[in-house]
Amino acid sequence: MIKPIENIRWFHSMDLGSGQVTRGLKPREVLGMEAEIIFRYPLAGKTVLDVGAWDGFFSFEAERRGAARVLATDHFCWSGPGWGTKDGFDTAHGSLRSQVESLDIDAMDIAPEAVGTFDVVLFLGVLYHLKHPFLGLEKVTAVTQECLIVETLLDLYDLDRPAGAFYPGKEKGGDPTNWWGLNQHAVGAMLNVLGFKRVEYVLHPTSNPEVPDSMRGIFHAFRS
């Protein structure tokens, strides 16, 4: 369904290829900086799964960068309890004349039987929304053939061992759907325990160690 873009509550600010730029919660400059890090390895010919795609910026960007096949999935913000809808994704998909496929499935239901397996799996901005983050990582690991890319908020950044902060209420950003702030050592260690041989970690470019709520990390976990 294609709606006028001003009638949609957008999460991603993105160029729809027709001179129109959506006014989403997440600025275009931030998405651009993230994409440069997330997609720093060639995608040409790869199959890509985007878990928690919402308006689909990273799915469409993977397609634009030459991925052979892209599957965008979401549930919480497409038809679940989140404030989002799939209208943004569908509108961008039409406007961009995209071939990206989509499937409404919860992140915790991701499994090879449900979606198949992919060379590259994107798990961006989802981990801290899960009550069971290690299980969530296990689910996306099961469908990853080569590289799992995780973007997540970080807490307990100064601790020098794996640790996580639990948010029972709205203490992180006023958002009750934020459950866990793992630190960079915890995310890296979990990915190693799940069998990834090599994990690269980059501090998110908008992070400022003097502003604890700004701390985020991007992890590339490789099978070999």
Ligand X SMILES: C[S@@+](CC[C@H](N)C(=O)[O-])C[C@H]1O[C@@H](n2cnc3c(N)ncnc32)[C@H](O)[C@@H]1O
**Residue numbers of the site for ligand X (CB under 6 A)?**
26, 52-54, 74, 76-77, 82, 106-107, 124-126, 129-130, 151, 177
CA distances from 62 to 8, 88, 183 (A): 23, 17, 27
State in angstroms the smallest separation of the CB of 110 from ligand X: 10
Shortest Å distance, C-beta 224 to ligand X: 26
Q: Which is nearer to ligand X, 19 or 81 (CB)?
A: 81
User: From residue 137, how far is each of 115, 157, 169, 194 by CA, in Å?
Assistant: 16, 20, 23, 8
Q: CA–CA separation, 101 vs 142, rounded Å?
A: 20
Q: Which of 84, 83, 43, 80 is nearest to 61 (CA)?
A: 43
Pairing of strands 180-182, 164-166: antiparallel
Q: Which is nearer to ligand X, 8 or 77 (CB)?
A: 77
Closest separation in Å from C-beta 160 to ligand X? 28
Contact call for residues 178 and 129 (beta carbons, < 8 A): yes
When the beta carbons of 147 and 197 are compared against ligand X, the nearer one is 147
**Least distance to ligand X, CB of residue 93, Å:** 15
Nearer to ligand X, 76 or 159 (CB): 76
Q: Give the 3-state secondary structure of residue 48.
A: strand
If the CB atoms of residues 136 and 188 are measured against ligand X, the closer one turns out to be 136
As a whole number of angstroms, the distance between CA 106 and CA 89 comes to 16
* Position of minimal CB gap to ligand X: 125
Least distance in angstroms from the C-beta of 131 to ligand X: 7
> Toward ligand X, which CB reaches closer, 192 or 213?
213
For 110-142, b where at least 16 C-beta lie within 10 A, e where not — what string?
beeeebeebbbbbbbbbbbbbeebbebbebbbe
CB of 197 to ligand X, least distance (A): 25
- How far, in Å, CA of 151 to CA of 156, rounded? 16
